[in-house]
Structure 1
Amino acid sequence: MAEFEVDVPLWRSENGSWVFGSLPFDVADEIDDVTRGRQGGFGSVRVEVTLGPTTWRTSLFPDKGRETFVLPVKKAVRTAAGVDAGDVVRVHLRLVDV
């Protein structure tokens, strides 16, 4: 089972309602290699994520414009960790259902 510890810059979507983190290119490439042919709808990859005190399951989504995967980070998680768009956060990712 693949696991990663990465620093992720958080940014707000154009409409301002979502906050995402962009994975480092080398990690995105490795995840793409490991999950190729087993990705979900829209190329999504199921992950378990830990950020600060919170662990949750979500999906990574490919972002062709940034050439990486992006991680949606909901408000409750950001609030619990005391972070928001513009911060760089350390997250632990574990691929699930692979």
Structure 2
Amino acid sequence: MPAQQPQLDGTLPEPSLDYRSWVDTIRPAFIRAARTGQWFTSYEIAKTNDLPEPANPKADWGNFVQSLVRHGVIEHCGWDETSRPGGEHSGVKVWRGTRAAQTGRTA
């Protein structure tokens, strides 16, 4: 087992999930959000649902969201400033559930 660097508070970080397990953990929250028809950013869903960070945050969040687009669950509907701490108000995509997702025809 590789050595782990303690966090600043002295605790060890939670072991990161492999990509597939991480997707299985977070997907239900995004499906619920898509079914509402409300506009959202991926960070808002992650924060509201206390979702875990992936092993590779810079790539995995984008890959996951794009898989939802490819499967017809969400669609891009605009831009906003990120509310993610340290994001320096950079632009982020805003999403909403497709009509199929809103009527429960996607999973």
TM-score, normalised to structure 2, is 0.32
Q: Which has the higher helix share?
A: 2
By relative contact order (CA 8 Å, sep 6+), the higher-ranking structure is: 1
Higher-Rg structure is 2
TM-score, normalised to structure 1, is 0.34
Q: Which has the higher strand share?
A: 1
